[in-house]
Structure 1
Amino acid sequence: MADRAITVAAWESLFRAQVTIMRALAAEFPSEIISLNEYDVLFNITRAPGRRLRLKELNRAVLITQPSVSRLVDRLAARGLVAKTHDPEDGRGTIVAITEEGFALFRRVAFTHMDAIDRHVGHALDERELGDLIELCDRLRLGVAEPVGEAPDDDALPADS
């Protein structure tokens, strides 16, 4: 187990880097077209099989609270960017799917956003370091879900790992 002071210093460094980069990305984000939260919702839906996701799963994936996600999905549906349907496997559930119009908008914004990410992150680290960062962040994320001292099962790892 790592020294507590080093652990706290590492967390502070990671947190400050994330906040600094997010501020730079937010400043360049085309928010007159779509908000970062709306983009996050569309991003998660596009990564799901068939570009459809249960609202319950979407709530787990995005960075905002459940009531905010529901309202945001309703706004996206009103704009024709997503469609909501009842989940045939769970009558109480809802499936959210991105529409063709929503996917076209997402792709247009994604290219701009990816360019900004490349400028703000890719310039500071080489490919090996970026790979290390991915591995370290995945370990941190997966470690939070596990009891202290236990490693996750291989089955618990995402399919794209």
Structure 2
Amino acid sequence: MAADRTAEQAWEALARAHVALMRRFRADFRGAGVGMREYDVLLTLARCPYGGARLCELNERVLLDQSSISRLVDRMAAEGLVERGPDPQDRRGTRVRLAGKGREALRRMGPRHAAAIRESLGGALSEEELATLRDLAEKLLRAQGAEGSGERADG
């Protein structure tokens, strides 16, 4: 019974911290030309091997919840942030890749967002606590059947 209450308290604290951090990070993106969801897609694409990802792969890798990745990618393509092209491994498929405007948005926002993360987390936790937090979060992901490079938390 005490373990149940502790689990509930841990979940509530984690959820509240997540909401507070996401509010802080969203504020950093105001007026940036891209929102957090777009930035998440751009960063995910930049980290993908083979010069991009299929929509299903992208949907598995983005950090933020995106119920319709296809519509988001369509909007981003219309804005020149990403481009769609044939998949060299599967001619029936389409790969999404970074476009020049998307690379520029990453160059512009990347350092700013990384600094906000360092300030928000590093300002509150020691290096050892950050490593423990990372390890615990990865353990929770594994317990849910999710891998760190695949399915991830939503926002």
Is the 2:54–2:95 Cα contact (8 Å) retained in structure 1?
yes
Q: If the length of structure 2 is used for normalisation, what is the TM-score?
A: 0.84
Gaps of 5+ in 2: 150-155
Q: Residues of 2 paired with 1:51 and 1:118: CA distance?
A: 28
Cα distance, 1:65 vs structure 2: 3.3
Identity %: 40
Per the alignment, residue 135 of structure 2 pairs with: 135
Secondary structure of the corresponding residue to residue 23 of structure 2 = helix
Cα distance, 1:124 vs structure 2: 0.3
Q: Which aligned pairs between 1:111-130 and structure 2 lie closer than 5 A?
A: 111-130=111-130
- Residues 16/28 of structure 1: CA separation in 2 closer, same or farther (3 Å cut): same
Q: Which aligned pairs between 1:56-75 and structure 2 lie closer than 5 A?
A: 56-62=56-62, 63-67=64-68, 69-75=69-75
Deviations 1:70-92 (A, max 9, x none): 11111111122211013243344
Secondary structure of the corresponding residue to residue 34 of structure 1 = coil
Gaps of 5+ in 1: 147-155
Q: If the length of structure 1 is used for normalisation, what is the TM-score?
A: 0.81
Q: Tell me which stretches of 4 or more aligned residues in structure 1 moved more than 4 Å.
A: none
Per the alignment, residue 149 of structure 1 pairs with: none
Is the 2:32–2:109 Cα contact (8 Å) retained in structure 1?
no
Cα distance, 1:157 vs structure 2: 6.9
Q: Residues of 1 paired with 2:42 and 2:7: CA distance?
A: 34
- Residues 66/88 of structure 1: CA separation in 2 closer, same or farther (3 Å cut): farther
Q: Residues of 2 paired with 1:65 and 1:28: CA distance?
A: 20
Deviations 1:89-124 (A, max 9, x none): 334432111123311211211111111111111100
Q: Which aligned pairs between 1:3-152 and structure 2 lie closer than 5 A?
A: 3-62=3-62, 63-67=64-68, 69-145=69-145
Between the two structures, name the one with larger relative contact order (CA 8 Å, sep ≥ 6): 2
Count of matched residue pairs:
147
Q: Residues of 1 paired with 2:37 and 2:75: CA distance?
A: 12
